[in-house]
């Protein structure tokens, strides 16, 4: 259960519950309507309407918890999670390779990140803020409620939510992407596609390979993989956009290494890193 709570100060006296709920926590109009309908907005423990006038010392609360049954397709599964950070609103995970976020349309998934999180939280809800491909490792953020997820999505691809995925030259790739003709999976450069931007930096280079820091400022499917292939530098091990070589690595060598974000409720700065996994360290 997630209940937002605020004690009204003198400067706020005479304002409505709606004004404070929107001002303090940026609660949307649609969510306000749902909260009002289920009696989830209270003042001093008593349900009120959004137009209720507040007075100094009043305790304004809003229950923004997810309601049971909102995600009936998620199958909870007991699968270990590597947790980098957790509070009442967020779960930051170090995702391993080989596990998908959601069940794939054409395959049966025994374990998924969605199922593992649902089991861990004892909930049928799952709200991924940033998504990683099955073969990609590293940091992914999960919101514990739909309310927090909505707040996080307003931060995504801004300075308040920055991800680095480890060509000292730097540059930018601005290349729109679209779906490759005849494929349900593959993406390709497309001048009429969705805009996509990636910043890159070379950290080191040896033996025909380079360790890069990649910072996506948009979030298109396979964006980093397609962008690197498009400039002639496909990811090591990328079977779809480069050359598969399982003697080097059994997946695309992509790892979500660093995340810095502003907490969507408290405003605190969260800064976490996930060390390179062993299969990528062997490439260095």
102-123 pLDDT per residue, tens = 876 656 667 899 999 999 999 8
Residue 224 reports pLDDT greater than 90: yes
Residue 277 reports pLDDT greater than 90: yes
Q: Are residues 91 and 152 in the same domain?
A: yes
Which position has the token pair 């979030």?
A: 219
Q: What Å distances lie between residue 268 and 5, 20, 160, 274, 275, CA to CA?
A: 17, 20, 11, 20, 23
Please provide the average confidence, as pLDDT, over all residues in the chain: 91
Output the pLDDT for position 168: 52
Q: Are residues 134 and 183 in the same domain?
A: no
Residue 12 reports pLDDT greater than 90: yes
Q: Are residues 51 and 21 in the same domain?
A: yes
Active site residues: 133
Residue 264 reports pLDDT greater than 70: yes
How many Cα atoms are found within 13 Å in the side-chain-facing hemisphere of 146? 16
Mean pLDDT of 173-178: 95
Residue 71 reports pLDDT greater than 70: no
More confident residue, 107 or 172: 172
Q: How far apart are the first and last CA of the chain?
A: 45
Residue 253 reports pLDDT greater than 50: yes
Q: Are residues 261 and 158 in the same domain?
A: yes
pTM of the predicted structure, to 2 decimals: 0.82
- Per cent of the chain over pLDDT 70 is 94
Q: Are residues 141 and 263 in the same domain?
A: yes
Residue 167 reports pLDDT greater than 50: no
Residue 142 reports pLDDT greater than 90: yes
Q: What CATH number does residue 24 fall under?
A: 3.10.290.10
């Amino acid at each position: 259960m997630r209940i937002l709570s605020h004690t009204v100060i003198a400067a706020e006296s005479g304002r409505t519950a709606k004004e404070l709920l929107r001002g303090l926590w940026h609660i949307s109009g649609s969510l306000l309507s749902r909260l009002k309908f289920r009696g989830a907005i209270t003042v001093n423990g008593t349900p009120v309407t959004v137009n209720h006038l507040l007075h100094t010392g009043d305790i304004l609360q809003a229950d923004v918890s997810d309601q049971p049954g909102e995600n009936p397709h998620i199958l909870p599964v007991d699968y270990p999670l590597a947790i980098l950070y957790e509070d009442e609103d967020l779960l930051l995970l170090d995702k391993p390779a080989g596990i998908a976020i959601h069940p794939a349309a054409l395959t049966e998934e025994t374990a998924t990140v969605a199922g593992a999180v649902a089991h861990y939280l004892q909930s049928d809800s799952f709200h991924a803020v940033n998504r990683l491909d099955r073969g990609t490792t590293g940091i992914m953020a999960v919101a514990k409620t739909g309310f927090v997820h909505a707040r996080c999505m307003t931060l995504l691809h801004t300075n308040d939510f920055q991800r680095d995925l480890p060509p000292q030259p730097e540059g930018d790739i601005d290349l729109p992407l679209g779906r490759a003709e005849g494929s349900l999976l593959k993406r390709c450069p497309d001048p009429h596609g969705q805009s996509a931007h990636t910043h890159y930096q070379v950290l080191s280079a040896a033996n025909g390979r380079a360790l890069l820091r990649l910072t996506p400022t948009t979030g298109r499917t396979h964006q980093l993989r397609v962008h690197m292939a498009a400039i002639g530098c496909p990811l090591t091990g990328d079977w779809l956009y480069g050359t598969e070589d399982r003697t080097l690595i059994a997946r695309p060598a992509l790892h979500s290494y660093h995340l810095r974000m502003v907490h969507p409720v408290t405003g605190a700065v969260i800064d976490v890193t996930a060390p390179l996994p062993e299969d990528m360290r062997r490439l260095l």
